[in-house]
Amino acid sequence: MTARVLSASSADIDRAVAALKSGELVAIPTETVYGLAGLALHTDALARIFAAKERPTFDPLIAHVAPSPRGERLLALSRVHLVDLTQLTAAARTTAEALADAFWPGPMTLVLPRTRAVPDLCTAGLDSVAVRMPAHPVAQEILRRVGEPLAAPSANRFGRVSPTTAAHVMAELHDRIDWIVDGGPCAVGVESTVLAVQGDGSCALLRPGGVTEAQLAAVSGQPVVRPQVSPLALPSPGLLASHYAPNKPLHLLPAPLHALDRAARARLLAPDAVVLVASGRGDHAAEFHTVLLTPDGTDATAAQRLFACLREMDAAQGTLYAEPITQTTGLWPAIADRLGRASAPRL
């Protein structure tokens, strides 16, 4: 099997929709990363997703739904049989509605009480389901025409670098899936922020992502807590330490290159170093092979380019390093999270 690339033309989207409706998998563009889509309420399609990605079944999937108007978004989740709204407290419902109105369609995922229609494979047996309304117009068109929720984890083999172009998907899954819809490079570039809305209306941040903590706190008017992570009792399986990893080991430097003197650079870096420069300074381009994460210095560009930079470094000859992320606002925590996991020791 070799995957075929479809365009975003109406005729090609028809093909993608027909394939999805018959239970096949289609890689689709979203604003975060490319997703490997299949029917979220059908165990057979879900099983195909886990097999193609070699994803362990303890890692639950996010169900994606078509956009709906402000004020109707939670109801829409119940209408497509994903979420049981009767199990939400009034405070949780208020917070969830405010967040859905503010950030959907967009890179935010809410973990909410599931209905019995959602297969265990989608939720890894949990009694909650993760849901998102994506902003990418091609994803939206496909969701509208399919008419039911699609599970769509990143279209890469488990644990590896997420794809942000159709070519990345082809490199990851060409012999495992039939269809890839090319919707251009992803605009956000890192996965969605995953939040669990709690009974008291507060939010637990399960994964930093495309919507920032400051944005969440401003809209919900509630504290955003970061659950303590114990490797034995992960609150959310996507918090696994090693993830988003290139083929070659990636070493995280203790400080940016410009803050290391010559002796420290010689001690810490191999002569064939390929360095992801996150600090926005190209000082050492003559000394090492450097890859500039954010040529314009913004967090948005850094997020958008992150996974493509990791792929480019993986393809280069040499030993891979990344500067640490020193900024703590905006999309930087999501970027630091991905780099931390990409460089974590592998099991």
The whole-angstrom separation of Cα 288 and Cα 341 is 24
Smallest separation, CB 154 to Mg ion (Å): 3
The token pair at 55 is 């994803």
The whole-angstrom separation of Cα 189 and Cα 297 is 16
- Strands of the sheet containing 62-64, edge to edge, are 4-6, 179-181, 26-28, 35-39, 150-151, 62-64, 128-132, 108-113, 193-197, 203-207, 224-225
Question: Please, which residue, 155 or 274, has the CB nearer to Mg ion?
Answer: 155
Smallest separation, CB 185 to ligand AMP (Å): 18
Question: Please, which residue, 85 or 268, has the CB nearer to ligand AMP?
Answer: 85
Helices (H) and strands (E) in the chain, counts: 11, 15
Smallest separation, CB 114 to ligand AMP (Å): 7
Residue 236 interacting partner from ligand AMP, Mg ion, none (CB closer than 5 to 8 Å by kind): ligand AMP
Question: Please, which residue, 159 or 201, has the CB nearer to ligand AMP?
Answer: 159
Smallest separation, CB 192 to ligand AMP (Å): 7
Inter-residue contact 138 to 28 (CB < 8 Å): yes
Smallest separation, CB 269 to Mg ion (Å): 29
Q: Shortest CA distance to 73 belongs to which of 107, 39, 104?
A: 104
Which of the residues 111 through 150 are near Mg ion (CB under 5 A)?
A: none
Question: Please, which residue, 154 or 212, has the CB nearer to ligand AMP?
Answer: 154
Consecutive H or E run containing 291: strand 289-292
Question: Please, which residue, 210 or 256, has the CB nearer to ligand AMP?
Answer: 210
Smallest separation, CB 223 to ligand AMP (Å): 19
Inter-residue contact 25 to 43 (CB < 8 Å): no
Question: Please, which residue, 140 or 154, has the CB nearer to Mg ion?
Answer: 154
Which of the residues 145 through 204 are near Mg ion (CB under 5 A)?
A: 154
Provide the binding-site residues for ligand AMP, judged by CB under 6 A.
Answer: 59-62, 111, 123, 126, 128-130, 153-154, 191, 194, 206-207, 236-238
Give the burial string for 215-238 (b: 16+ CB within 10 Å, else e): bbeebbebebeeeeeeeeebbbeb
Residue 229 interacting partner from ligand AMP, Mg ion, none (CB closer than 5 to 8 Å by kind): none
The residues binding Mg ion (CB under 5 A) are 154
